Amino acid sequence: MTFSIVARVGDAYGVAVASKFPAVGAMVPAARVGVGAVATQSFARISYKEDGLALLAQGHDAAETVRRLTSTDEHAAERQVGVVGVDSQATFTGGSCMDWAGGVAGGDDESGYAIQGNILAGAEVVDAMERAWLTTAGAPLPRRLLAALLAGDAAGGDRRGRQGAALIAVQAGTGYDHAGVLADLRVDDHPEAPRELERLLDLHELISGPPEDVAPLVGDLAAEVAERLTRLGHPATADDAERALEAWAGVENYEMRLAPGGIDARVLRALREATA
Task: Read off the pLDDT of residues 89-116 as tens digits, 9 standing for 90 and up.
Answer: 999 999 999 999 999 999 999 999 999 9
pLDDT of residue 267: 97
Task: Read off the pLDDT of residues 26-65 as tens digits, 9 standing for 90 and up.
Answer: 999 999 999 999 999 999 999 999 999 999 999 999 999 9
Give the Cβ contact number of residue 261 at 10 Å.
10
Mean pLDDT of all residues in the chain? 97
pLDDT of residue 36: 98
Pick the residue with more confidence: 246 or 175?
A: 246
Q: What is the mean pLDDT of the segment spanning 219-240? A: 97
pLDDT band of residue 224 (cuts 50, 70, 90) is: very high
Q: Is 79 exposed, middle or buried (0-12, 13-18, 19+ CB in 10 A)?
A: buried
Q: Is 269 exposed, middle or buried (0-12, 13-18, 19+ CB in 10 A)?
A: exposed
pLDDT band of residue 176 (cuts 50, 70, 90) is: confident
Q: What is the mean pLDDT of the segment spanning 151-162? A: 96
Residue from 166, 136, 131, 168 nearest 152 by CA? 131
pLDDT band of residue 177 (cuts 50, 70, 90) is: confident
Question: Any bridge partners for residue 83, and if so which?
Answer: 38, 90
pLDDT band of residue 139 (cuts 50, 70, 90) is: very high
pLDDT of residue 175: 86
Give the Cβ contact number of residue 216 at 10 Å.
11
Between the CA of residue 18 and those of 21, 118, 193, 248, 265, what are the distances in Å? 8, 11, 7, 35, 31
Task: Read off the pLDDT of residues 203-212 as tens digits, 9 standing for 90 and up.
Answer: 999 999 889 9
Kindly tell me if the per-residue pLDDT of 264 is higher than 90: yes
> Can you give the pTM of this predicted structure?
0.93
Kindly tell me if the per-residue pLDDT of 1 is higher than 80: no
pLDDT of residue 178: 84
d(CA 118, CA 49): 18
pLDDT band of residue 135 (cuts 50, 70, 90) is: very high
Whether the Cβ atoms of residue 247 and residue 230 lie closer than 8 Å to each other: no
- Parallel, antiparallel, or unpaired: how do β-strands 36-41 and 80-84 relate? antiparallel
Kindly tell me if the per-residue pLDDT of 168 is higher than 80: yes
